[in-house]
Every structure is written in structure tokens, then in C-alpha cells.
A and B are shown apart, each in its own frame.
Chain A
Amino acid sequence: MLTEGQKKLLEELKNSLAKSVSEAKISESDYARTGYHLEFKSSQTGSRRVAKEMKRKQFNLETVTAVDFIDSFEIVYLYFNYYQDNIRVIVRIRVPKNEPPFTISAVYPEAIWLEREVYDFFGIRFKEHPDLRRILNPDDAVYFPLLKNFGKTKITDEIDDMIC
């Protein structure tokens, strides 16, 4: 199902990514099931280095988001290359709650708003971000809505139990 070009690009990517971020875990995944070809897992570091590498390979940033796993955040970057081979790469950076990653907005300007959104909903203060303010929530809000403990009360827990 993978074409020759895709296979070649995947190999190249694996090598170059492994070279730039040595401690990362890189694995291929089932595109038909997950929607991405290559999975890149790393803890704490490497978001900027990966972004630069991706930019060099003419990848496009599709989205930046985060997932709150109670003890840590997982920042998810999705890159897609539609120039030649339609390869989608997912980059997952696990960061502890008190140590935010660096911004990639210098590499991909699109990330300025996307990272603002992530900050707005999770409270992740990207380092060296040019314009880190609230974007969708009110400017004077004191909460981060997409944290798992936001809005949890006894009643919502009961409702969850009921519908599960």
C-alpha cells in the first residue's frame, strides 16, 4: 500500500530524525487505522529540532495540540507532506507539567496562533513565544478549560458513571 517514494521518504525521515534527536523513539504505524505513517515519541526536548528538520523536508504543520495525562502533558504536532508523497508524521513530546517546551513559531508562523490556543486551554507556557496571550477564552480568565480536573464535580462524575 505504501508506494516506493513513500517508503524511501520514510526511511530518510527516520534516519534524519534519529540523528537530530537521539533519545527519541521512532516507529512506523498503520496508516489505515491511525491516519499517520510515522510516530515520533520523545520526552521533554526536541520539538524545535524536529520542526526544523521537518521544514527542511518540506513538511507542513497541520496542527499543534496537547493532551492532558493527569501527571504530564503530551504535546502533539502533526506534520503532513503533500508535495510528493502524502506522509503524515505525528510528533509526541511528553513534558512534565511544570516544564514547558520551546515554541516552534519561529519555524512555522502558523504555530503562533496554534500555540496560543494550546496555552489558552492547557496553560502550557511555550518558551520564547512572541505573543502568548489568551485567544478564545476571556482575557481575564483564571482557568484552563481543557485540563482534566477542570469542571469536575461530584455530579459530573456521577453522570460519567451513568453513561459509561
Chain B
Amino acid sequence: MNMTQLPIIKDVYGFLGPDLMACVTGLLLILMFVPLNSAFLVWVERKVAGHIQLRPGPMEVGPHGILQSLIDAVKLMCKEMITPDLADKYLFWIAPCTVVIPAIVCFVVIPFSPIMQVRELNVGILLIFAFSSISGLSILMGGWASNNKYSLIGAVRAVAQSIAYEIPLLLSTMSVIIMSNSLKMSEIVAAQSPVWNFVWQPVAAIIFIICTTAETNRAPFDLVEAESELVSGFHTEYTGMRDALFFMAEYTAMFIGSSMAVVLFFGGWYGPFFSGIFWFVLKAYLLVFVTVWIRWTFPRLRFDQLMNFAWKVLIPISLLNLLVTAIVIKVL
């Protein structure tokens, strides 16, 4: 049955037009997908960590503990949200709210398949970079407002880190954009129909993955919440659902970073036999698995080494890569 034949929907449809209708349904889907996805990723993380460490991970709730993170979410919702006495109350309250905004907004432009994209923007990549920078702001707000020295150190580290790593991130993205000549997500994917960009741009891809790991504050770049130094960094003072929101934002950012990498380097929805969405989600989750795998293998860098790594290794290499790409494209 065609949806538009129902009278009420027909009215709304006629009034708002097909475009906005798609936006509303898409946003609702995103709002459903974001928490479930992060719950699933928490479970994946714990499972992978467990099996790497030769233990089973969560096993109690549901088959192989798959419902564990949902139960955890229920527990977190029941917990009291403590605001420290000397904290800046408003900023302390706003920070976890703002941190989820980029997590939701960025999904709007991600092309899961040729048809499954909420909104096609011709500056899609720019939008994602712009909004994901907000998370740095909210981390700073949360850390500052907590009025805790550990939180403050964590927040300051977060800002320095996100500034440093955004440069090689953008530079490595730049070389792909030069190749595909567009900022539109779907066109970038379409440009790699026979051969993935990864084949032409392996260096940029590796730099991109390293930088997204750093941008999302994952180990070995998790200095923001380095638990052996800073207890838990910027969210030391957060409890209950506010803490969970930070977690949700982190895991969603991880997924967004992986999907970006899939779009830019790993051929988006292209793949044999199955539909586009299957391949896209599979590739994204594989990349998420790689970040989880990295986290449970390596030690953490020290802060000055982290900065050195960004400025002395990643930025020169990505600049060089960009230069070579530009020359090659010009010459060919």
C-alpha cells in the first residue's frame, strides 16, 4: 500500500513535501540507531577485549551477554546525577547535552547506501568535520565546569590533542577530495567504483585512521581519560546518565570515524552479491574492530610524544602525500 494514499499523511505530505518527510523519518531512525549502536559497540568492545585477554567477557545477561549494555543503561538511568558543590552548574549540565549533538548530526550525511542517506549535502564532509569539532568544546566545558584538577588537565589535553590531530586528518582527507573532485559524500563513493581509494592513497588512509583514533580519544591516544594518570579525565565528576552520554558520544564518534574512512577510502557501499547497506555497515564495524583491537594491544603515549607524533610525523607525511597527489593528478 502506498503511504501517500492515507488522507492525513497525504495532507502532511502535500504540505511539507517529500524532502522534509524523508528528513523526519531519517532523524527518527538516527535517534533510534545512535543509542542502540553505541550499546552494541560497548558490548563488542568488552567481548573483543575479553577474548584477546583469554577470558569470555560479559556472559550473564542474554546469550553471550548481548543485553549487558542495555541493562547497564537502565542502571545508569536509575543512578543519582551528582553535581559537585563547587562546579559551574550550567556548564556542567550543558556539556553532556552538547556532546551528543555532533554524534547525531553527523549521521545525516553519511551514505549507508545509494538510497539510504538522510540528506545529500554538497559539503557533506565539511559538515562532519565542523560538527565533530564541537565535541572538543563540550569536553572542555565538562572538564572546566567540574572544578576538578584531573578533569581540567584532561580537558586541556583534549583540546590540544584535537587541534593537533585535525590538521593531518584534514590534509589526508584533502588528497582524496583532490582525486574525486567533490565534497559530496555520494560522489566520493561513486568515484571509487572500480578501485578503492585505499589502493591509490594507502598513506592517507593510515593517517586518517590514526587521526580518527586520536580525535575520538581512543587508546593509544586516550590521554584525555588516561585512567592510570587522570582517574578518568574530563568525566571524573560525572555520574549516571550524564556519564553515559559521554560514553555514547565516544562510541558514536568511533562509528562515524569508521564510516568516514569507509566513505573516503574503502569504497563505501560497493561490494559484490549483497546490498550496499550490508557492505557499508560491515566495513564500518570492521574498522571499529580494528580500533578496539589497537586499544587492547598498545600502551599509551605520553602527552609530549603525542604532540610530537602529530606535528613531526603525521603532518609532514600527510603534506608530502598531498603534494605528491596534486602533482600526479596535474601531470596525468
State if A and B touch, Cβ cutoff 8 Å. Answer: no
Q: Which residues of A are at the interface with B, using a C-beta cutoff of 8 A? A: none
Q: Which residues of B are at the interface with A, using a C-beta cutoff of 8 A? A: none
